[in-house]
Amino acid sequence: MVIFIDDLNMPRKDKFGSQPPLELIRQWVDYDGWYDRQQRELFKSIMDIQFIAAMGPSGGGRATISRRLTSKYNIINFTFPNDA
C-alpha cells in the first residue's frame, strides 16, 4: 500500500516543540507498527506500506519538521519557474 501525505509540515508544534502526528509516522517507520492502547503488550505490526509526502516551504502556518523524521525520507527539492 502506498500512503500519500499532503502538507506534511502542517501540524502545529506544541509547547515542547514536537509535532505528535509526525512522531507517530516516525515511530511506524522505525518499528513497523504500534502498541495497542488497550492491551499494551500486544504489538500491531503493519507491513508493506510506503509513505510518500509533499510539503511547501515553512512559514505561513507551515512548521519546519524535525530532523528525526526527515532522516527517514529521501528528499527531493524543486521549485517551479516564475513566468511573471
Alpha carbons 31 and 79: distance in angstroms, whole number: 33
Residue 50 falls inside a structural domain: yes
CB contact at 8 A, 11 and 22: yes
Whether 78 is covered by a domain: the verdict is: no
Let me know if residue 8 belongs to a domain.
yes
Residue ranges making up the domain that contains 29: 2-70
33/24 Cα distance (integer angstroms): 9
Q: What is the total count of domains within the chain?
A: 1
Q: Does 51 fall in a domain? A: yes
Q: pLDDT digit string (tens) for 19-77? A: 888 888 888 888 888 888 888 888 888 888 888 888 888 777 788 888 888 888 888 88
Task: Tell me if 84 is assigned to some domain.
Answer: no
The CATH number for 25's domain is 3.40.50.300
Q: Is the pLDDT of residue 4 over 90?
A: yes
Evaluate whether 20 touches 12 at the Cβ level (below 8 Å): no
- The per-residue pLDDT for 79 is 79
Per-residue model confidence (pLDDT) at position 84: 63
